[in-house]
Chains A and B, each alone.
Chain A
């Protein structure tokens, strides 16, 4: 049993390295995509499809069809169908369990393309190129860690990404060998995949920004904030809810803050009923509390006449 486990671990490790290398190529592809982006500004969707196709070419072996199918889902996500995010995440999860890392690469590329689309400028492409430059270091010197979510699924991530979580950082310190699995209770597979997506992005940007000037740092920070918003906009309210709970449990303060801001933006300007609909809330206020609320409203009004 142990021998079989080790063998699988080795396979997953190799797969992880392939993922990293392919990710690097994907970033370079995005750079060239940025130039195409300017020429076909009005046809963003096709550009995304082109990028996906290019991504597909880089994937060797028997996984191409599966990747193509997944990339179709990515295109739908670009079309703004938030519900697909959950399915896509789950599909991604299944593939990772099977030991095939193609989907992760495709997802990364899709994100890169969206960033380029959003900015439409070479600055972002150059930033991506920088991230590409830092990838080899991660591949060569960066450790990978194996995480198991509450539903028993296995996920690979770089230690640098996982360490954005205070909880995971503490768990990793206990790990003796790289083959050991860190068990993450209370966070299911789809949610953990989303968490790691966020952490990986932030770890990459932090690595690329290290040692740069104040101006470059400010530039990278703003681009990352835009990425965060785009990242959260893709999620359903249910996925956002689960991510919120997970970021709290795992103590990822930046992610928790971003989700709280997102929820606050949804709340602003809405009536009580609209809020209940948006957040799936059942009114459980007692008649006394309702009456108190009405009284407080009158009281607030009275406060506008302190001289009366």
Chain B
């Protein structure tokens, strides 16, 4: 068969190009070639829809681009704090103030969250890894994010008053991801009591007591998705599996309860990055086990 003539991706419909640009990511949209390939790609890269979700976690890529843009000033010093504000400013402009999700780098703090609350009040989700956030500034920012549906934060913010404030200010809040080393029943109680309507809870790579897991499963009646994968000694037992069977998604792994199986972890976050492939032999084993009694 003769090969058909080569297709040009420049002639795709605008909304198809935008659907590609939404997945390219901020570093390539700002500094890469995507926005300068041709006029139709430029228009798509500048479409507000391409800036609804902004992933700034990979700060190295962003700063490399910035250095390339100013070769004559490579020695000039700009604080990373101010640089991040600048990028958020650009993103907010291009999104016409309608950013829906932001993943912030590790050094981001309450000033950046306050900026977002002021410029993008319709924000649905943010990821803020900082481990030294001040409660009052965080709560002030939350007060301006009434459309918030979910957030990813460090365990230092898992505090009853802080989370209750989130619950009170954000009526649609249903999703929480926590970076923590260890979760006991007390921390589980704080989360359950302050955010009773959670549908999705992610606490990956964390040592967690069996009582904590059972607490989540017992108290969060609307829970649909629980991810406690990524740690080697998660306390999975028969009662836990039985209670978890009501969930739509339950991600966990154990090298000990069911023998020597490979780890499985959910590598994605929210819906910005697609999940990487994971080996699920262990989960399949559980599937067989769950099918056994019936």
Q: How many A-B residue pairs have CB under 8 A?
A: 186
Are A305 and B250 neighbours in the complex by a CB distance under 8 Å? no
Interface string of A220-258 (1 = CB under 8 A from B): 001101100100000001100110110010000000110
Are A222 and B1 neighbours in the complex by a CB distance under 8 Å? no
Contacts of A15 in B (CB 8 A): none
Interface string of B253-294 (1 = CB under 8 A from A): 000000000000000000000110111110111110011000
Are B287 and A216 neighbours in the complex by a CB distance under 8 Å? yes
Are A217 and B248 neighbours in the complex by a CB distance under 8 Å? yes
Are A241 and B9 neighbours in the complex by a CB distance under 8 Å? yes
Interface string of B30-55 (1 = CB under 8 A from A): 10111111110110000000000000
Q: Which residue of B lies closest to A244 (CB)?
A: B16
Partner of A86, one of B4, B10, B34, B39: B4
Interface string of A267-297 (1 = CB under 8 A from B): 1111111111001111111100100010001
CA distance A37 to B87 in the complex (A): 50
Interface size class of A (residues with CB under 8 A): 35 or more
Interface size class of B (residues with CB under 8 A): 35 or more
Q: Which residue of B lies closest to A268 (CB)?
A: B28
Are B9 and A281 neighbours in the complex by a CB distance under 8 Å? yes
Are B69 and A301 neighbours in the complex by a CB distance under 8 Å? yes
Are B251 and A218 neighbours in the complex by a CB distance under 8 Å? yes
The smallest beta-carbon distance between B183 and chain A, in angstroms, is 21
Partner of A257, one of B15, B19, B70, B278: B19
List, sorted by A's number, 16 A–B pairs whose CB atoms are closer than 8 Å: A91-B1, A121-B281, A215-B286, A218-B249, A218-B283, A219-B280, A226-B277, A261-B274, A264-B21, A271-B33, A280-B7, A282-B8, A293-B35, A303-B86, A304-B83, A305-B78
Given A214-B249, A225-B274, A301-B70, A263–B284 Cβ distance below 8 Å? no
Are A297 and B39 neighbours in the complex by a CB distance under 8 Å? no
Given A226-B277, A293-B42, A237–B10 Cβ distance below 8 Å? no
